């Protein structure tokens, strides 16, 4: 067997702010091994990248393959990311700065490496294997600590001038709204992220208006995760239900703006809130967006829940590596 | 000379709501002949298309060439347009409905025909030959009766699911704003189109607050065109200057939203208002957009005036036909 024939596997890596996941896939993107570690946001770029390499080695071992058998690695990283140079620029939730992810991993594993934004990786994963298959234009919206966005158009990740685009979390929905982490006011993520909902829910719990939430999670917003919010709503905390619904309405307003500009077929809502409360985070977003678009667009799009959960990022990163390094197979020669 | 060798010219057509322009270009897009007619919006699709064909014949005659010498025709039409089928669907300002533009013109001139949205054609023209050359992502904004938008990304016109996209005129900038032609409230074009400015300026003229405008154009908004507004501002009507400035600010707000979603290199402002008052319609838009984007985007884009004037549409339509029918020349064979 030649070296080229040995190469049969893709490695997809999802580097999150709190955890990292490496998965090995065969050519049909069936998972054959994986490894997880905590990210340790306090590490610098060198130590962080060594930890990434360790996780990759663990995944290779779990899959019982070696690095020379890899067709390539795709790695989704917290943005902003320079896809051309394979560099993570200055992620707000990670101690790294100008981390040369591609050249380090290429050196370490002697294979081709594609670096992309983590949200883009998740949207590309959903486009290839999940809720967005077959669409021309897929927009993904992922409410979490912030609100990430990404767009796949005609099979490629849409990119901005200097880094990735679709910063839907920073579309301004209320000029007089609360301060955002970016320094402006009333950005979508300042009013509708899980963190924004959690902060308002904590106030309600503190005031005694959300007894179920108080019982489950207390008033520390670090403990008020998606599951706690969902349990609070299910347990009858009407104020919390209204907070989540209002957040979904604000996301719907921003989605309506995206529809006017990009006319996507499919808008995918992902993340823990959408998974635990799709009847609010998907249905209310859809209803509000439909209400707010001009008549010509009302029947042109659907809003759906993400399908791949935590696998979207690593699957999408691996599939993006394939897209970069193995373009459409040429027609068989006669 | 074979039939193929004879084919040396592109025809670009700009079908506007009030006038139509056909231009013949050589392979380097140097204009070598043209013809104009009024559109006569009251005509039905058949009569309208006959008028288009007449205008094309006049342009061919002016260029001293015949239809068999055409490489192809590109025609920009009022949207919505189905680019795949070459059909104009249901333009608000034209009596046509489901007009089969491509098949009719292909039959008439025995050449290849590309049909696209008129604003897209203008933006593509500016991308290829005007204010957007060399950019990855160009967004065009054309305030007129409404506010048209278009986007060229990596050399292609960005398209929506069912027709063209970038309906920036229907991005909502003020939920409590005035009624829009689309039936909603506070769309950008309801507050910042030339027509919206003219309506407010007419009120000011009627109230005696814009004496110069009253003298030049009276209070009929059909007479308050870009030139009249510019003359009014130049003549000292401070209220009119404030109205135009406020419209530019609203456009800047919408542009900031576009920057967060698409991160374009270049935003081009075109149309009569931008040509006659660039110090307001370009500079104020730029200042407002820079003020409203998140810090990471402040230095990533520029706002510029369109360069090609009335030629943008026909040039862009012809160049789009080339893009469709003559893909990159293949490498020379050894």
- What is the per-residue pLDDT across B267-324, written as a single tens digit (0 to 9) for each? 999 999 999 999 999 999 999 999 999 888 899 999 999 999 999 999 999 999 999 9
Interval A101-112 mean pLDDT: 97
- Please tell me the predicted confidence (pLDDT) of residue B214: 97
- Please tell me the predicted confidence (pLDDT) of residue A58: 98
Closest listed residue to residue A228, CA positions, set A245, A250, A209, A205: A205
pLDDT grade for B211, boundaries at 50, 70 and 90: very high
CB < 8 Å to B182, chain A:
294-296
CB < 8 Å to A166, chain B:
261-262
Closest listed residue to residue B148, CA positions, set B133, B126, B129: B126
Using alpha carbons, list the distances in angstroms from residue B7 to A232, B65, B167, B332: 71, 10, 36, 20
Task: Give how far B216 is from chain A: nearest CA, Å.
Answer: 36
Q: Per DSSP, what are the bridge partners of residue A281? A: none
The pLDDT tens digits of the residues spanning B50-98 come to 999 999 999 999 999 999 999 999 999 987 888 999 998 877 767 788 8
Name the strand (E) or helix (H) holding B137.
strand B137-143
CB B8 within 8 A of CB B69: yes
For A292, which of B136, B172, B260 is closest by C-beta distance? B172
Confidence (pTM): 0.89
Name the strand (E) or helix (H) holding B189.
helix B188-192
Q: In chain B, how long is the greatest CA-to-CA distance?
A: 76
How many CA atoms within 13 Å lie on the side-chain side of B254?
36
- Please tell me the predicted confidence (pLDDT) of residue A332: 44
The pLDDT tens digits of the residues spanning B178-204 come to 998 888 889 999 999 999 999 999 999
CA distance A216 to A214: 6
Which B residues in the span 203-242 are in contact with A, Cβ-Cβ below 8 Å? none
Residue A334 has pLDDT above 50, yes or no: no
The pLDDT tens digits of the residues spanning A213-234 come to 999 999 999 999 999 999 999 9
Q: Integer distance in angstroms from the first to the last C-alpha of chain A?
A: 25
CB A289 within 8 A of CB A259: yes
Residue B331 has pLDDT above 50, yes or no: no
Q: Is A14 exposed, middle or buried (0-12, 13-18, 19+ CB in 10 A)?
A: buried
Residue A211 has pLDDT above 70, yes or no: yes
- Please tell me the predicted confidence (pLDDT) of residue A94: 77
Contact B262 A159 (CB under 8 A): no
Average pLDDT, chain A: 92
- Please tell me the predicted confidence (pLDDT) of residue B333: 38
CA distance B305 to B212: 26
Residue B329 has pLDDT above 60, yes or no: no
- Please tell me the predicted confidence (pLDDT) of residue B80: 80
Using alpha carbons, list the distances in angstroms from residue B72 to B50, B312, B332: 18, 18, 24
Closest listed residue to residue A135, CA positions, set B159, B26, B331: B159
For B161, which of A165, A168, A264 is closest by C-beta distance? A264
- Please tell me the predicted confidence (pLDDT) of residue B50: 95
For A171, which of B168, B182, B260 is closest by C-beta distance? B260
Residue A107 has pLDDT above 70, yes or no: yes
CA distance A289 to A249: 8
Q: Is B302 exposed, middle or buried (0-12, 13-18, 19+ CB in 10 A)?
A: middle
Query: In percent, how much of chain A has pLDDT > 90?
Result: 78
Task: Give how far A155 is from chain B: nearest CA, Å.
Answer: 13
Whether ipTM tops 0.90, in short, is no
CB < 8 Å to A80, chain B:
296
Highest mean pLDDT of the ranges A150-164, B163-177, B184-198: B184-198
């Amino acid at each position: 067997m030649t070296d080229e024939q040995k190469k049969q596997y893709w490695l997809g890596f999802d580097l999150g702010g709190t955890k990292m996941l490496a998965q090995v896939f065969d050519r049909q993107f069936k998972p054959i091994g994986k490894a997880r570690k905590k990210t340790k946001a306090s590490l610098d770029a060198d130590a962080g990248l060594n930890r990434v390499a360790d996780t990759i080695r663990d995944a290779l071992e779990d899959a019982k393959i070696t690095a020379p058998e890899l067709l390539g690695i795709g790695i989704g990283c917290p943005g902003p990311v320079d896809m051309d140079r394979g560099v993570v620029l200055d992620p707000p939730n990670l101690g790294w700065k100008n981390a040369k992810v591609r050249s380090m991993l290429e050196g370490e594993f002697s294979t081709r490496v594609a670096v992309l934004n983590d949200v883009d990786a998740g949207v590309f994963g959903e486009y290839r294997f999940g809720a967005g298959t077959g669409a021309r234009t897929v927009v993904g919206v992922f409410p979490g600590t912030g609100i990430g966005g990404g767009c796949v158009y005609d099979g490629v990740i849409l990119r901005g001038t200097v880094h990735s685009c679709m910063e839907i979390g920073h579309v301004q929905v209320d000029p007089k709204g609360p301060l955002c982490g970016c320094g402006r006011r009333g950005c979508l993520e300042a009013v509708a992220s899980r963190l924004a909902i959690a902060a308002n829910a904590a106030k309600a719990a503190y005031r005694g208006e959300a007894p179920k939430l108080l019982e489950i999670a207390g008033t520390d917003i670090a403990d008020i995760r998606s599951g706690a919010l969902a349990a609070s709503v299910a347990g009858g905390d009407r104020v919390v239900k209204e907070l989540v619904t209002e957040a979904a309405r604000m996301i719907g307003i921003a989605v309506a703006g995206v529809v006017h500009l990009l006319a996507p077929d499919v808008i995918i809502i992902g993340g823990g809130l959408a998974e635990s409360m799709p009847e609010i985070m998907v249905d209310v977003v859809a209803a509000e967006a439909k209400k707010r678009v001009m008549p010509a667009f009302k029947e042109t799009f659907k809003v759906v829940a993400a399908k791949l959960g935590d696998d979207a990022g690593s699957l999408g990163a691996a599939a993006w590596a394939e897209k970069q390094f193995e373009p459409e197979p040429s027609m068989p020669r006669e």
